[in-house]
Amino acid sequence: MTTVHETLARGETEVGAVGTATALLDAYRPGAHRFFASPARTLLAYGEHCQVPHDERPLTDRVRDTLAGARAAGEPAPVVIGAIPFDGSAPEALVVPSVLHRAPALRTDPLVAFPAPRPEPIAWTVRPVPAPESYGAAVAAAVDRIASGEFDKVVLARALDLTAGQAPDIPAMLQRLARRDIHGYTFAVPTPAGGTLLGASPELLVSRRGGALVANPLAGSTPRSDDLAEDVRRAAALLESVKDLHEHAVVVNAMRAVLAPYCSELQVPERPSLVKTATMWHLSTTLKGTLADPSVSALELACAVHPTPAVCGAPTAHARRVIDELEPFDRGLYTGIVGWGDAEGDGEWVVTIRCAEATEQGLRLYAGAGVVASSDPAAETAETGAKFRTFLDAVGAEL
């Protein structure tokens, strides 16, 4: 009887077999591998058939030409996989892999119910960038500028640098991230600087399958509670929060305005629902559309809406300038896009949040919060702290 691991060694995928999706997760190794798991599928890519070049052409043109070149070179069904930075002028990390293994979603694999091993005790040194007090002051400054009518919303982020005198165990972190939230989007891809971007995002930017598109913006959040009654109270309060409903509406209206011209039909619910992760409740709206032109790719749609007000602000250009003024670091791949797309235009592209960039020296974690006129600096600082929990739990560190 052929085992799943023997199937992987032959360069095949035994789709539908028990253990196939978790075998891809188990097989991941940083460096040459790229891993992506969604509620629809699990992907593990090996090697590089070719890279998407970084030049003056639009990204969608470069990806289309790269996929066409790979098909002409003998790849029957080429796929591009990787990450795109927040700053559209910065280099991407996109490749057509030499080998791509596909499996059903992790959530359908019974073996994913087995928990990942707990993190080994490590004396992490945690350095906030900036200090929480400085972050709160930046939020307060942004609130004052919003109140003056300068702009409507900005998303401000902060980072944590974790060091421990040893290289992070990236496969173990990925296991814990993936098994903790099997309904989200888990990823691990090499960065242009030689590190690894890994995380577990709850937010689908856009997917396309044939002529159907789906987008699922999240905006407006509150931390979960270990107490069930309090957790339910927080969820109910989020659904009625004037501040969070306004923040969410800004994002949904912006995405509707961008996506509607691409669609012959676009369905947008009148009110948001709730999505939960292990650490957060989020307001969520699922937009579903039928493309007027089925040749428009998932990546083209993703690039059209990126960056949304959920990770940048509104108006977009002004919010980006405020981010440059108030954030003391380059976001890099954080709040960019991660995912995959094929030569037919199908694909899944996810907002790069709840993530970290890992190097031999340590980890940089990121978290952000949407700032509007009614934002409270202490509450936004606490929200980013709660969002850090996704990754801090995966490495066994405390804030």
Active site residues: 153, 203
Please state the three-class secondary structure of 50-92 as a single string. Answer: EECCCCCCCHHHHHHHHHHHHHHCCCCCCEEEEEECCCCCCCC
Q: Convert 132-145 to b/e letters by CB count within 10 Å (16 or more is b).
A: beebbebbbbbbeb
Cis previous bond, 132, omega within 30: no
Cα 220 vs. chain centroid, distance in angstroms? 16
Sequential DSSP letters for 176-195: HHHHH-TTSEEEEEE-TTS-
User: What are the φ/ψ torsions at residue 357 (nearest 5 degrees)?
Assistant: -110, 125
CB distance 359 to 31 below 8 Å: no
* Distance of alpha carbon 69 from alpha carbon 99, whole angstroms: 16
Residue pair 187/215 in contact by the 8 Å Cβ criterion: no
Residue 129 · residue 161 · CB < 8 Å: yes
Residue 240 CB-density burial (10 A; 0-12 exposed, 13-18 middle, 19+ buried):
exposed
**Structure tokens, 291:** 């493309």
**Token digits of residue 229:** 């009654």
The encoded tokens of residue 389 equal 């929990």
Q: How far is CA 328 from CA 12, 18, 119, 336, 356, in A?
A: 45, 47, 30, 18, 17
At residue 306, φ and ψ (nearest 5 deg) are -85, 135
